[in-house]
């Protein structure tokens, strides 16, 4: 699996397709986060922006290989493992700028008496919940379920929006925890949302890998 992850990561960075999601995230943070604003509000925006960015990056990793190369890798390592490696690479890399952004926002925002470690943990868990939810959206809005670019991108945008409004969504739960905490100046780390997002992402990955073996 390590070799497959390195292969998928190499494809991603050599193609420079990672630049567009990264720039989108930078624009979100630059436009939506201001210095000295309440830390939990700022962390909520920072975490929320990671959801569509992760979904987009996952889709990039799932579609970046030419069909011939994909078949060669599938024959050598197994179609399920190859698909899982693409999902993991697309999920893991957005977490790096997300972590940096959370730590930066924690330091420059108005913490209102909330300890730095507690604010950072709360923000990191919210970011992880949003990233994993975005990974699930990306996995279900791409191949093998949707191969046409138009339908895939439409599903990606719609799924990202629904993830913030549908009852039971881990991302919505994490955002609710942050907005509620911002009103009372108390940080409540969204552990439950993070666990739910992990379960959601694992389920989506399982469905995608099984569908890949049958449909491709």
For the whole model, what pTM was predicted?
Answer: 0.92
Question: What is the residue extent of each domain of the chain?
Answer: 2-215
Cα-flanking dihedrals φ and ψ of residue 164, to 5°?
A: -95, -10
> For position 67, what pLDDT does the model report?
81
> For position 216, what pLDDT does the model report?
66
Residue 182 makes CB contacts below 8 A (sequence gap 6+) with 38, 40, 41, 44
Label residue 34 left, alpha or beta by phi (over 0 means left) and psi (-120 to 50 means alpha): beta
Residue 31 has, within 13 A of its CA and on its CB side, a CA count of: 7
Per the DSSP assignment, residues forming a β-bridge with 38 are 110
Give mean pLDDT in consecutive 10-residue pieces for the chain, a chain of 216 residues.
88 90 91 82 92 96 85 80 92 95 91 88 96 96 88 94 93 92 85 96 94 78
> For position 87, what pLDDT does the model report?
95
Per the CB < 8 A criterion, the answer to whether 42 and 125 are in contact is no
Residue 61: which of 26, 117, 21 has the closest Cα? 21
């Amino acid at each position: 699996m390590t070799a497959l992850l390195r292969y998928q990561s190499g494809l991603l960075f050599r193609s420079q397709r990672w630049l567009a999601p990264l720039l989108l995230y930078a624009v979100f943070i630059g436009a939506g986060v201001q210095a000295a604003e309440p830390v939990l509000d700022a962390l909520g925006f920072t975490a929320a922006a990671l959801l569509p960015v992760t979904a987009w990056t996952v889709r990039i990793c799932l579609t970046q290989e030419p069909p011939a190369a994909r078949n060669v890798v599938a024959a050598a390592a197994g179609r399920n493992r190859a698909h899982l490696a693409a999902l993991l690479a697309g999920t893991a890399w957005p977490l790096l700028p997300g972590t940096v952004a959370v730590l930066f926002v924690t330091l420059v925002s108005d913490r209102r008496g909330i300890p730095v470690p507690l604010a950072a943990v709360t923000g990191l868990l919210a970011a992880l919940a949003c990233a994993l939810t975005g990974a699930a959206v990306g996995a279900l809005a791409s191949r093998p379920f949707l191969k046409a670019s138009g339908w895939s991108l439409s599903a990606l945008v719609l799924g990202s929006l629904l993830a913030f409004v549908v009852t039971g969504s881990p991302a919505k739960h994490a955002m609710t925890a942050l907005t509620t905490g911002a009103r009372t100046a108390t940080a409540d780390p969204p552990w439950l949302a993070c666990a739910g997002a992990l379960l959601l992402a694992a389920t989506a990955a399982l469905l995608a890998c099984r569908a890949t073996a049958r449909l491709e």
